[in-house]
A and B are shown apart, each in its own frame.
Chain A
Amino acid sequence: MADERRIRVLMAKPGLDGHDRGARVLTLGLRDEGMEVIYTGLRQTPEKIVQAAIQEDVDVVGLSCLSGAHRYLFPEVVEQLKANGVEDMLVIGGGIIPKEDIAFLEEKGVGAIFGPGTSIKEIASYIRENTKRK
């Protein structure tokens, strides 16, 4: 059986939001699910996130925001990935995202939004099924 390349994830906190319990838990949890996960820490600009994603050659970028700035920050990350010629990176999000904003974010290229109560397993399954990179 060929060596399966492990899925690589960048867990990021865009903007100024300091609530990173979910980002940390998901970093540790996805590692236990067999993925390679890098957590950026707080206060990342969309530029920094995209730079890190490209540098680390990740398959997935996970964005966490609980401060209400997601409508600007998440699409900005997607836009900047495209502007850098990256078309096949899966972008997913979580945090406190009001229901009304989910369709908007998905339209802008965010693959899925995982709100409070989501399990690590759900997110891991979604990633496995939707990663576009080979």
Chain B
Amino acid sequence: MFDKDRIEEIERKRKEWEEGTLKKSLERFGLKESPTKFYTPTDLRDFDFLDKVGFPGEYPFTAAEYPSLVPELRVRGGVSSLLVRASSYSGYGTAEDTRDYYNYMRSAYGRRGGPNIAFDLPTQCGYDSDSTMARGEVGKTGVSVDTLRDFELLYEAFVGDHDLDKIASNFTINAPCNVILAMYFTLAEKRGIPLDKLRGTPQNDILKEFAARGTYVFPPKPSMRMVRDTITYCTEHVLSMNPISICGYHIREAGATPVQMVGFTLSNAIAYVQLGIDAGLDVDTFMRRFTFLVWSTGMDFFKEIARARAGRRIWAKIMKERFGAKNPRSWMLRGAGGMGIPTHTLTAQRPLNNIARCVVTGIGNAMSGAPPFGGVPYDEPMGLGHSLEAQQLSLDAGRIMQFEAKLADVIDPFAGSYYVESLTDEAEEQIWGIINKIDAMGGAVDAIEKGYMQREIARSAYQYQKEVETGERVIVGVNRFTGEQELEVLTSRLVEHPYDPKKRAEAEEKQLKSLAQVKKERDDGQVQATLRRLREEAKDEGGNLIPPIMEAVKAYATIGEICNVLREVFGEYEAYNVTA
């Protein structure tokens, strides 16, 4: 970038500065070494802009996924869509409770668009509400869905100009994804809406469940078969549905380091892409619909920016060179955005400090190819559900960054920075190291079966905690600045949250009654016939299970009954014991 002579002159002058100005200044403070770095062109002497950065929305996508921030900024006041998505991940209690919640949010708060549905743990783990495994859990982390009936009730909030062909639905569902999708497709059929009009994204990233999140049901190989079924079915019949949202977020939140998060995620992504290819699909066709979730970020501002940029660059190279994808859209880390959200860094102590943390990472997102946004509402560590005040402040923080600080007026402003480009190269090298290591093990599925990702994540989590306990890693208000003279600033959350606590408390009992009612009213013979058919089809690895699951769902078979048939055929995953 700079000519050789100029570089040498800068090196000379740097040494002069270090031995002169810097040394004198440090001596005044009794220091030998400077605690602050300074980068110059000499740190980037072989930098080739077109090779390393290029242009936003073009290979290698280092700067950003899209040519401008416009695709990320929705028409709704020009505010980042991420902001709207993150704060509307919702659901609780019974299907009616959630239906009423969505109706209320629309009428009282003007929320438009489709649902971003959180399901309760029994649903996510393929258990019915009346299972012994479900006791105490029904309707807590999200809405309880046992049968098609629950879907029909929930979607009473989405009719008319919010009908299924006019909205997109997000489902945070993984192991029983195809059961939930079967319900959605069946509902569409009942409403006379063609499948190719449906839009949405199920999470469906089962590998990260084994590695980090824990809502697995079946072992890895049959689980991958189910993901393949989603990819092939959607590619053929539900063209506007994204079959997957590949997640690094949970891997980091469970304890992985920033580079492990990207390395493990991209290794998982490689395995998913291979599913499509092995099924005989054209890579550029199905990759149009692969998405990634936003990352999880820590507070190490510049390193996280660099890691986000490196992640895009690496994936672009993998899609282009390893998989030979021809369409530039296939090379995109579609949906991942910038550095991500800092959920695991938020503290229950002095929770308003979490706003500061989210603003730092909001700015970081603006510095790493995405719009700024307010992150997570500050009361995240305080319990289930975010107060409306906290949601408001999160929204406002994003607006302040965008409209007052004008952070969305430029994209990737650190492109070419001696510091950030050096950090990006370093992050890239470390991430490739992890991807290559997992490749050598046979890929993500093998790595998970061997317990590699799980062990590494547990180790990193423990390392992080040790750093917190020694004070090496500072957490303000938790391990430092906790003296008597510090104020414990409390918050008052006064606006009644639209999640009615009474409804939530009564949900389990209500759901047990409705489930019993559905079982009474349905044709048991038909249910058994569909489950028998499913069992047969499941034994044939080559068959797509979505059609037989849809038949079962139509007969009002429960999610537990369907998953139990699959448990019989596939077995259940036995978690790898990382602490043995």
Chain B minimum-CB-distance residue to A120: B469
A98 at the interface (CB under 8 A from B): yes
B93-125 interface bits toward A, Cβ cutoff 8 Å, 1 = contact, 0 = none: 000000000000000000000000000011011
Chain A minimum-CB-distance residue to B478: A117
A17/B121 contact (C-beta < 8 A), A28-B579, A42-B214, A69-B137 known: yes
Contact B381 A16 (CB under 8 A): no
Contact B215 A18 (CB under 8 A): yes
Rounded to whole Å, the gap between the CB of A74 and the closest CB of chain B is 10
B313 at the interface (CB under 8 A from A): no
Contact B469 A117 (CB under 8 A): no
B384-420 interface bits toward A, Cβ cutoff 8 Å, 1 = contact, 0 = none: 1000000000000000000000000000000000000
A67 at the interface (CB under 8 A from B): yes
User: How distant is the Cα of A45 from the Cα of B134 in the complex, in angstroms?
Assistant: 10
Contact B461 A25 (CB under 8 A): yes
B153 at the interface (CB under 8 A from A): no
B241-262 interface bits toward A, Cβ cutoff 8 Å, 1 = contact, 0 = none: 0000000000001110000000
Contact B348 A16 (CB under 8 A): no
User: How distant is the Cα of A41 from the Cα of B576 in the complex, in angstroms?
Assistant: 9
Instruction: From the candidates A18, A29, A71, name the one contacting B465 in the complex (CB within 8 A).
Output: A29
A41/B577 contact (C-beta < 8 A), A19-B214, A68-B384 known: yes
Contacts of A19 in B (CB 8 A): 213-214, 254
Most buried by A among B125, B384, B465, B475: B465
B462 at the interface (CB under 8 A from A): yes
Contacts of A69 in B (CB 8 A): 121, 135-137, 140
Contact B578 A24 (CB under 8 A): yes
User: How distant is the Cα of A21 from the Cα of B296 in the complex, in angstroms?
Assistant: 15
User: How distant is the Cα of A39 from the Cα of B579 in the complex, in angstroms?
Assistant: 7
Contacts of B213 in A (CB 8 A): 18-19
A44-74 interface bits toward B, Cβ cutoff 8 Å, 1 = contact, 0 = none: 0100000000000000000000011101110
User: How distant is the Cα of A18 from the Cα of B575 in the complex, in angstroms?
Assistant: 11
Contact A67 B469 (CB under 8 A): no
Interface range on chain B: under 10, 10 to 19, 20 to 34, or 35 or more? Answer: 35 or more
A45/B132 contact (C-beta < 8 A), A17-B121, A98-B383 known: yes
Contact B462 A98 (CB under 8 A): no
A15/B579 contact (C-beta < 8 A), A24-B458, A68-B141, A117-B349 known: no
A73/B136 contact (C-beta < 8 A), A25-B462, A39-B579, A117-B347 known: yes
Instruction: From the candidates B125, B254, B466, B577, name the one contacting A16 in the complex (CB within 8 A).
Output: B125
Contact A117 B475 (CB under 8 A): yes
Contact B254 A21 (CB under 8 A): yes
A20 at the interface (CB under 8 A from B): yes
Most buried by A among B124, B137, B141, B349: B137
Instruction: From the candidates A37, A41, A115, name the one contacting B575 in the complex (CB within 8 A).
Output: A41
Contacts of B579 in A (CB 8 A): 24, 27-28, 37, 39
User: How distant is the Cα of A121 from the Cα of B348 in the complex, in angstroms?
Assistant: 19
Chain B minimum-CB-distance residue to A28: B462
B295 at the interface (CB under 8 A from A): no
Contact A21 B135 (CB under 8 A): no
B201-223 interface bits toward A, Cβ cutoff 8 Å, 1 = contact, 0 = none: 00000000100011100000000
Instruction: From the candidates B132, B136, B141, B461, name the one contacting A71 in the complex (CB within 8 A).
Output: B136
User: How distant is the Cα of A115 from the Cα of B347 in the complex, in angstroms?
Assistant: 10
Chain A minimum-CB-distance residue to B131: A16
A25/B465 contact (C-beta < 8 A), A17-B214, A18-B209, A67-B121 known: yes
A43/B133 contact (C-beta < 8 A), A28-B579, A116-B348 known: yes
Rounded to whole Å, the gap between the CB of B205 and the closest CB of chain A is 13
Chain B minimum-CB-distance residue to A99: B382
A119 at the interface (CB under 8 A from B): yes
Contacts of B466 in A (CB 8 A): 29
B286 at the interface (CB under 8 A from A): no
Most buried by B among A21, A29, A119, A121: A21
B86 at the interface (CB under 8 A from A): no
Most buried by A among B133, B462, B468: B462
B127 at the interface (CB under 8 A from A): yes
A119/B575 contact (C-beta < 8 A), A16-B122, A16-B137, A43-B133 known: no
Contact A45 B133 (CB under 8 A): yes
Contact A16 B458 (CB under 8 A): no
Contacts of A16 in B (CB 8 A): 121-122, 124-125, 127, 133-134, 137, 215
Contacts of B384 in A (CB 8 A): 68, 96
A15/B348 contact (C-beta < 8 A), A39-B579, A117-B478 known: no
Chain A minimum-CB-distance residue to B122: A16
A82-114 interface bits toward B, Cβ cutoff 8 Å, 1 = contact, 0 = none: 000000000000001010000000000000000
Rounded to whole Å, the gap between the CB of B128 and the closest CB of chain A is 12
Contact B214 A20 (CB under 8 A): yes
Chain B minimum-CB-distance residue to A19: B214
Rounded to whole Å, the gap between the CB of B214 and the closest CB of chain A is 2
Contact A28 B135 (CB under 8 A): no
Rounded to whole Å, the gap between the CB of B452 and the closest CB of chain A is 15
Chain A minimum-CB-distance residue to B346: A116
User: How distant is the Cα of A68 from the Cα of B121 in the complex, in angstroms?
Assistant: 10
Contacts of A96 in B (CB 8 A): 381-384
User: How distant is the Cα of A43 from the Cα of B216 in the complex, in angstroms?
Assistant: 11
Contact A67 B140 (CB under 8 A): yes
Complex A-B: 18 CB contacts under 8 Å:
A15-B121, A15-B136, A16-B122, A16-B133, A19-B213, A25-B461, A28-B458, A29-B465, A43-B125, A68-B140, A69-B136, A73-B136, A98-B383, A115-B348, A116-B347, A117-B347, A120-B469, A121-B469
Q: A24-B579, A68-B141, A116-B349 are in contact. List 17 more A-B contacts (CB 8 A).
A: A16-B133, A17-B121, A24-B255, A24-B458, A24-B462, A29-B466, A43-B133, A45-B132, A67-B140, A68-B140, A69-B136, A96-B381, A116-B348, A117-B478, A119-B469, A120-B465, A121-B469
Sort A-B residue pairs by CB-CB distance and give the 9 closest, nearest first: A18-B214, A72-B136, A16-B121, A69-B136, A68-B140, A98-B383, A116-B348, A117-B478, A39-B579
